[in-house]
Amino acid sequence: MTDELLVVRCRLGEREAFAELVRAWHDPVWNYVRRMLGPSRADDVAQEVWVAVVRGLPRLKEPGRFAPWLFTIARRAVADRLREEYARPEIPLEEERASADPADPVDALVESADLLAGLAGLPVREREVLVLFYLQDLSLEDCAQVCAVPVGTVKSRLSRARRMLREQLTEEGYR
Amino acid sequence: MNPDDMIARLSGPLSLRRRIANVVALLGGLGGALFVGLLWATEPALPGRTHLAFGALVALGLAWAGYGAWALSRRTPLFALDRVIAAWLAVAATGLLTAGTATVAVAKGTWTGMAGVTVAATLTVLAVAVLLRARADRAALLRRKRELGG
């Protein structure tokens, strides 16, 4: 069953459809929150996300675009928790703008559990795009919508995140 | 936490009974406040304590209406079916209110009574419009559900 059909059924008021929607998307949301905030706050923040989803569903204009809408809400919940850390000014690095290169060896590593642990060491903005793009399989356009930034900024953040991750893994002995 | 735990935690916002209770609080509070207010306004020469009692009743009704409005806008959303149910309740409540205010207006024969009937009748028309809109929105969603194979 597609997300759009589930969302339409939820908007009709079918409670079972909402249960199916939660079952389908609970793990991606929970994992996103856990990777952004750590396991101790994941349950509470994930619940905040789902409560916001319940409240926002009747107003969702495009049921077919559920995933980016969901992660926009999740991102907002995470950002609320990280507001102080988020105050860090971003330094634009135009020279780092590049599309995600599937041949990059870091891309292959990104699936490994060791690397997932390394995500916690990245700054929030870089960690966020890495999680959304590689682990949640969102497109660059969807990442840009979720983060409320242009696609070029997502690319530059991805590029910077890969470089930082590579440096971090190299320091820790991964080759 | 697994998905079923999360669903259990969301039982509050997902409770149809709770959402309809908020609608009833809004309609009951507003209708009650308007009706009591009309009685208060059309009753000549009341003692001080009666004014106080009428004022308290109106305030109570408005408080319930405010709570219902706040809960519906901030806490518990109304889905398509809920909106149809809520609109029918609104039509029934405003219909009763119109009948009640018309009775008062006929008995008292004052301009204030007529003004009350006008307000109640306007609310009834508004409720009917909301009902038509809610039914159309639900029909559109049902159509889309069928198109998607649901």
pLDDT at B12: 79
Residues of A in contact with B145 (CB under 8 A): 5, 8-9, 12
Q: By CA distance, what is B135's nearest residue in A?
A: A12
Task: Please return the burial class of A170, using the count of CB atoms within 10 Å of its CB with bins 0-12, 13-18 and 19+.
Answer: exposed
> What is the helix (H) or strand (E) element at residue A72, kind and residue range?
helix A66-81
Tens place of pLDDT for every residue, chain A, 175 residues?
688 999 999 999 898 899 999 999 999 999 888 888 888 888 889 999 999 998 888 888 888 889 999 999 998 888 887 775 555 555 444 444 444 444 444 444 444 455 666 777 788 888 888 888 887 778 888 888 888 888 889 899 888 888 888 887 777 665 5
Residues of A in contact with B7 (CB under 8 A): 18-19, 22-23
CA distances (Å), origin B88, targets A110, A134, B64, B94: 54, 48, 19, 10
First vs last Cα of chain B: how many Å apart? 30
Q: By CA distance, what is A13's nearest residue in B?
A: B79
pLDDT at A96: 42
B85 CA to chain A: closest CA distance, Å?
11
Q: Answer whether A119's CB lies under 8 Å from A130's CB.
A: yes
Verify whether the Cβ–Cβ distance A54 to B77 is below 8 Å.
yes
Q: Answer whether B71's CB lies under 8 Å from B33's CB.
A: no
For the segment B46-94, what is each residue's pLDDT rounded down to a tens digit? 888 999 999 999 999 999 999 999 998 888 888 999 999 999 999 999 9
C-alpha–C-alpha distance, residues B27 and B98, integer Å: 13
For the segment B127-143, what is each residue's pLDDT rounded down to a tens digit? 999 999 999 999 999 99
Question: If you search the block for the tokens 């356009």, which residue do you land on?
Answer: A141
Q: Answer whether B98's CB lies under 8 Å from B148's CB.
A: no
Which residue stretches of B1-110 are H helix?
3-9, 16-42, 48-70, 80-108
C-alpha–C-alpha distance, residues B133 and A172, integer Å: 61
Q: How many CB atoms lie within 10 A of CB B58?
A: 18
- Report the candidate in A118, A9, A5 with the shortest Cα–Cα distance to residue A58: A9
Q: What is the ipTM of this complex?
A: 0.79
Read off the pTM.
0.73
Contacts of B109 (CB under 8 A, 6+ apart): none
**Selected residue with higher pLDDT from A88 and B95:** B95
